[in-house]
Structure 1
Amino acid sequence: AINAFAREILLTAKQRLEAGGWRVVHGIVDSIWVTPDPDDDDRENLEALATEITERVEIRLEHEAHYDWVAFVPQRESDAGALTKYFGKVAGDDDFKIRGIEARQRSTPQFIEDVQRDCLERLDATRSPDAVLDCLQDAIKRLHAGTVRVEQLVERNRVSKPLEGYTQNTQNVAALKRAREQDLAVHPGQDLEYVVVDDEKSSRERVALAHEEIESYDASYYEIQLVRAVESVLSPLGWDRTEIRRELAETRVPELTAFANTGND
């Protein structure tokens, strides 16, 4: 019944907004995004339309913000939009409005979040996927050079059940095993903080707990996480991780051959 009412309210709002000269580009349970209909010159004021819709559906609708631009992230492995994943630049605001992507996920390491936000800045300034890929490539170089501080690579995941309740050898399981080995009690609902040091392993050596002295990290694992984060930024423009990887491979070739002998064979 709730869903039926929600659909009816959303459709009512959509129809009235379109009649008022606005084109609906996206809508979820509590929000609706519109852009001016280029074929309708007799456009009504959004504030007035929101007031009218509020009176009709008896649920308050407010004009929250005007965006310079907004991008809705498609679902991975699908062209359909992920309804709760989007990012955009609010007009007159220096910050981005971000929902659902890695920078807003509590498990995301600080380094991955910082790179994703840098990519958003590049995209806003240049509107160029190449500029975003330059940012990604620089971050990957830093990872493999070992210059990223391990404190910036800490993942935070919530424990959902006791160690014995897990059937897969996940990173959480490896961290729980390390915690038990150190007589640290971690209960369901609590957080585990760790750095992935060798994701190829399935034992407790796969990770190191954040409080331990950590000498190295799994750069290849974190590179994968970086590519996923940048895919979130570029996927609204039609890029997926396969294309990102292909572009990175093409740009890396000159770097590897740049120091080849250019004189005598």
Structure 2
Amino acid sequence: MIAVTGVTGNLGRLVIEDLLARVPARDLVALARTPKKAEDLLGGGVEVRHCDHDDAASVDAALAGIEVLLLVSGPDMTPGVRVRQHRTVVEAAVRAGVRRVAYTSAVGAEDGRGPVADHTATERALREAGPAYTVLRNALYSEAFLGAALVQAGKEGEITSSTGGRPLNTARLRDLALAASAALTGSGHENATYELLGPLWTYPELAEVLTRVLGRPIKHREITDAEAGWLGGVFPAVRAGALATTGSDLARLLGRPPSGLEETVTALVARTAG
């Protein structure tokens, strides 16, 4: 039996949908804090169980009979909360005899600092717990950057950044979900850590892609970090080259190259239009 947490979120739902193409529905369990939000999965034969990471008893019950678990990192970034919740799940997995736990971590989690500190602590808890583990260090989601740019392009006819033309490494959410699904069902992923990186891209390149996809001129303009909103907290790292790394792990798990910039923008535009 394979179980996935966070199935009412974007990543968890995509993982479950792909798993349905890989294994029988009777072998899948969807875990949710609010099962009613995932009850549509029942029609496809997937069992839905209540799993509240703040309630150890509910986690124990949810993991009964589970052999492989995907722990999707929790959304609550209040200091101390996410690590506590993750440890609750890991400890319950040990009690339930889960053979392997996969965890959606983040690129850079090896250094244990700043926003990735929770992931570092969770990875450590996994390695010390006993069951086999698979750490999936996800890149930042492409959709977060491209979605903001798409909205700006629609309103202003341009996109802005303070990246100095330096490249970013992000990955399409769907690619990361399919990689997780492959790691859950494939062999040879025990006690492995994967750096799931997409292809590099720049904001000037994004302006060119948006011009082609939208069919109208979209320009790129450099601004200051202060003018860049929430992205102003990310762009200094981009200028420093922190997001300019590449790797082959995502392609390996997907069995194909990760989605490129134009493919991801085209899919996002189509979804927005729909």
Normalised to the residue count of structure 2, the TM-score between the two structures is 0.24
Larger-Rg structure: 1
